Amino acid sequence: MDLGPIDLDHTLSCGQAFRWKKRDGRWSGIVAGEEVVLEQDGDEIDVQTGLSERELRDYFRCDDDITSIFKEIGKDRYVAGLLRKYQGLRILRQDPWECSASFILATYANVPRIIQMVENVCRTFGTRLPEGSYAFPTPEQIIKKSDEAGTCGLGYRCARFVQFARSVHLGEIDFNMLKRASYQDCVDGLIRFDGIGNKVADCVAIFSLDHLEAFPIDVRIGRAIEQQYEVQGSYRKVSEWARQHFGRYAGYAQEYIYYDQDARNRSVSRRR
DNA sequence: AACCAGGTCTCGA
DNA sequence: TCGAGACCTGGT
């Protein structure tokens, strides 16, 4: 299947989604409750899934005009280098509920632990698929046996996670409306919920609600921006600077910078 | 064995 | 509007 210019390794391991695993050269994950297995050989990607081609192309954002996106953020010298270095890293379009619930768990934890927490949640509440893995649970599945949330190792995030499931189940958040809304209205709509601050809201906005100008700032991005551009300060100040500097696809630049910082960390830990 | 993690919340200035 | 402290817990 043709998913456009994409590198699965970069795209699925960069920390935007937490449910993809690579084994024996194949990536397997679950999208919209369906198992997806992908194997990339150069430009060829072999796909095994019950998902329709339309759904898969939607998930991989094949509708994006990637050329003009790269042209735009590539105006920055540093990012231009990263575009070459990590060619084929793409932003995904994830399910808003799964994305927001996952990033509520992602606060103040490292990626391996986030993956573990999400996996625990899926095994505890989610539907078991024929292949043996579990789908990400619906809000209702979580509410029905919320007393078991304590066994998932979520720490202080547990109460927020369950409460958010309740809010979503009660229809207190309209993701489709947030998609159509302006970036700022989208963030304002997300940030009302306990456990969603600036950073999580930006992650949800870019990874699931089509607001590619969202620029999530974690500690590593903060450091990188300070080093590369000598810009620092409050979240609001830095993120506004980033949208100004990188333009309407600022979030795409953010993901390349984040991945580069991640790669540096990985090589440091190998050296130890 | 400490250290730190894709932050958020609360509170005071 | 901003900065400082506390915070569950498990990888590394």
pLDDT average, residue stretch A238-258: 97
Q: Is the CB of A109 under 7 A from strand B?
A: yes
pTM passes above 0.95: yes
pLDDT average, residue stretch A59-77: 97
**pLDDT tens profile A163-220:** 999 999 999 999 999 999 999 999 999 999 999 999 999 999 999 999 999 999 999 9
State, as a whole number of angstroms, the distance between the CA of A183 and the C1' of B9: 24
Nucleotide nearest to A153 (CA to C1'): C9
Whole-number Cα distances in Å, A66 to A71, A82, A88: 8, 15, 10
Give strand pairing partners of A45: A40
Strands of the sheet with A26-31, listed across from one edge: A21-23, A26-31, A34-41, A44-49
Q: What is the pLDDT of residue A41?
A: 95
Instruction: Name residue, tokens 């449910």.
Output: A19
Nearest CA to the C1' of C1 belongs to which residue? A234
Q: Is the CB of A233 under 7 A from strand C?
A: yes
Q: Over 80: is that where the pLDDT of A119 sits? A: yes
Q: Over 80: is that where the pLDDT of A261 sits? A: yes
Could you say which nucleotides of strand B lie within 7 A of any protein CB atom? 4-9
Nucleotide nearest to A217 (CA to C1'): B6
**pLDDT tens profile A6-58:** 999 999 999 999 999 999 999 999 999 999 999 999 999 999 999 999 999 99
Residues 173-212 of A with CB under 7 A from strand B: 191, 193-201, 203
